[in-house]
């Protein structure tokens, strides 16, 4: 999505980003919004990018900086901080500053697999803790938008109940692969591929310790849920990871359900800032509720430009 500095969502984050830049000694003049979604991302002069968290995510920002340094120590390609510490802001928010990557495109699925294979092989660092039940994040998003008008009260009640069901199912999962360091939101959009073919992990704020199957599920749902990856590409992903197909794990349907729910709650959350995406949010809810037939479903990316949604990838 192309963001302009006049967008309402961008304007809403501008004062806090400017405040953080002043506190950190960065020049905010000429700053331009890059993406206003779960984090507000702005590009600054001097090849620096600032990330402003949503309310309540200050601790995650501090952990993200520690994770980036840990990955650098282990020679895993990832985004690198432009400032070693975060700027704390009102509302339990924080801003972090990062070195801007060279010109790049979204990573390939096999790029994701190779980076995950490296990440999952590393010894667990002391700053990462056990990943919380991933269904909880979906419920937190729902509680935050409970009284908006994006979806009906009936749909909201159903989603809250479904989130609780999935949370309970997660707690009953049989053991799979041994716990490892996780990215937490590992998909091709969180990997950057430069024109020279170098790949970097991005968006490290969900890093934790947990079942590696969770990191693999984000790509597998693009086969089962949205059918946006041809089977040949998915097999390349499996091969690049080392031959392990997460869909063979007995707990995969639960992990798939949580990932689908989080994709849906993200769409609902996004629609509060980008109202033109509300139909997509409601469409996803209808799919989860069984109103649009069996998987795979046709979902479109959010946020997207008005009138030009494009396919989800």
Q: What is the CATH number of the domain that holds 65?
A: 3.30.200.20
257, 121: one domain: yes
Q: Can you name the residues that pair with 32 across neighbouring β-strands? A: 43
5 pLDDT exceeds 60?
Answer: no
Percent of the chain with pLDDT over 70: 96
Element (H, E) at 11: helix 8-24
Q: How many degrees, rounded to 5, is the angle at CA 24 between CA 21 and CA 25?
A: 80
* Residue 299 within any structural domain of the chain: no
* Residue 302 within any structural domain of the chain: no
13 pLDDT exceeds 50?
Answer: yes
204, 279: one domain: yes
281 pLDDT exceeds 60?
Answer: yes
pTM: 0.93
312 pLDDT exceeds 70?
Answer: no
13, 123: one domain: no
Between 310 and 176, the more confident residue is 176
311 pLDDT exceeds 70?
Answer: no
Q: What is the pLDDT of residues 68-117, one digit of tens each?
A: 999 999 999 999 999 999 999 999 999 999 999 999 999 999 999 999 99
Task: Kindly state the tokens that stand for 205.
Answer: 């704020």
203, 133: one domain: yes
Question: What does the DSSP 8-state code read for residue 88?
Answer: E
* Residue 2 within any structural domain of the chain: no
Which residue's entry shows tokens 């206003």?
Answer: 36
Of how many residues is the chain composed? 313
* Residue 184 within any structural domain of the chain: yes
* Residue 221 within any structural domain of the chain: yes
How many Å apart are CA 44 and CA 64, to the nearest integer?
Answer: 20
The average pLDDT across 149-155 equals 96
- Residue pair 185/149 in contact (Cβ under 8 Å)? The answer is no
The predicted pLDDT at position 313 comes to 46
Cα diameter, the chain: 54
275, 234: one domain: yes
220, 275: one domain: yes
From the number of C-beta atoms within 10 Å of its C-beta (0-12, 13-18, 19+), residue 178 rates as exposed
In the chain, the number of structural domains is 2
- Residue pair 58/86 in contact (Cβ under 8 Å)? The answer is yes
Instruction: Pick the last residue of a domain from 57, 83, 100.
Output: 100
Q: State residue 296 phi and psi, 5-degree precision.
A: -80, 155
Q: How many degrees, rounded to 5, is the angle at CA 95 between CA 139 and CA 15?
A: 100
Other beta carbons within 10 angstroms of residue 27's beta carbon come to: 12
Instruction: Pick the last residue of a domain from 75, 100, 125.
Output: 100
93, 124: one domain: no
166, 89: one domain: no
78, 119: one domain: no
**Which range of residues forms the domain containing residue 58?**
8-100
80, 123: one domain: no
The predicted pLDDT at position 304 comes to 72
Q: Can you name the residues that pair with 305 across neighbouring β-strands? A: 308
The predicted pLDDT at position 192 comes to 97
* Residue 174 within any structural domain of the chain: yes
How many Å apart are CA 30 and CA 307, to the nearest integer?
Answer: 28
170, 29: one domain: no
Long-range contacts of 3-11 (CB under 8 A, 24+ apart): 3/33, 3/34, 3/35, 3/36, 4/33, 5/32, 5/33, 7/33, 7/36, 8/273, 9/36, 9/40, 9/273, 9/274, 10/36, 10/40
202 pLDDT exceeds 90?
Answer: yes
Name the pLDDT band for 4 (thresholds 50, 70, 90): low
147 pLDDT exceeds 60?
Answer: yes
Instruction: Pick the last residue of a domain from 100, 135, 160.
Output: 100
306 pLDDT exceeds 80?
Answer: no
- Lowest average pLDDT, out of 32-41, 179-188, 259-268, goes to 32-41
Q: Which residues contact 292 (CB under 8 A, 6 or more apart)?
A: 283, 286
The predicted pLDDT at position 80 comes to 98
* Beta strand ranges found along 53-146 (DSSP E): 87-89, 93-99, 104-106
The predicted pLDDT at position 310 comes to 56
The predicted pLDDT at position 309 comes to 59
The predicted pLDDT at position 1 comes to 44
The average pLDDT across 206-230 equals 97
Q: Can you name the residues that pair with 199 across neighbouring β-strands? A: 193
The predicted pLDDT at position 6 comes to 46
How many Å apart are CA 77 and CA 191, to the nearest integer?
Answer: 10
């Amino acid at each position: 999505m192309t963001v302009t500095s006049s967008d309402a969502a961008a304007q809403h984050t501008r004062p806090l980003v400017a405040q953080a830049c002043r506190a950190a000694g960065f020049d905010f003049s000429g700053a331009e919004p890059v993406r206003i979604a779960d984090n507000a991302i702005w590009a600054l002069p001097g090849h620096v990018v600032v990330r402003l968290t949503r309310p309540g995510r200050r601790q995650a920002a501090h952990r993200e900086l520690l994770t980036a340094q840990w990955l650098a120590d282990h020679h895993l390609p990832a985004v690198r901080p432009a400032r070693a510490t975060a700027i704390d802001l009102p509302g339990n928010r924080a801003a972090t500053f990062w070195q801007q990557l060279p010109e790049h495109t979204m990573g390939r699925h096999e790029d994701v697999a190779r980076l995950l294979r490296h990440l999952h092989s590393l010894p667990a660092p002391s700053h990462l803790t056990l990943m919380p039940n991933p269904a909880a994040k979906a419920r937190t998003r729902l509680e935050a938008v409970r009284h908006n008008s994006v979806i009906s009260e009936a749909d909201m009640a159903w989603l809250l109940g479904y989130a609780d069901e999935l949370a309970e199912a997660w707690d009953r999962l049989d053991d799979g692969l041994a716990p490892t360091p996780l990215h937490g939101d590992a998909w091709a959009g969180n990997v950057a591929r430069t024109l020279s073919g170098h790949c970097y992990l991005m968006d490290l704020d969900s890093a934790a310790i947990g079942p590696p199957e969770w990191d693999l599920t984000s790509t597998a749902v693009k086969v089962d849920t949205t059918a946006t990856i041809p089977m040949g590409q998915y097999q390349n992903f499996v091969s690049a990871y080392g031959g392990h197909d997460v869909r063979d794990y007995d707990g995969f349907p639960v992990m798939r359900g949580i990932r689908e729910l989080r994709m849906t709650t993200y769409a609902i959350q996004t629609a509060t800032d980008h109202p033109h995406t509300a139909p997509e949010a409601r469409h996803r809810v209808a799919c989860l509720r069984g109103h649009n037939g069996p998987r795979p479903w046709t979902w479109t990316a959010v946020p997207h430009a008005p009138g030009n949604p494009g396919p989800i990838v």
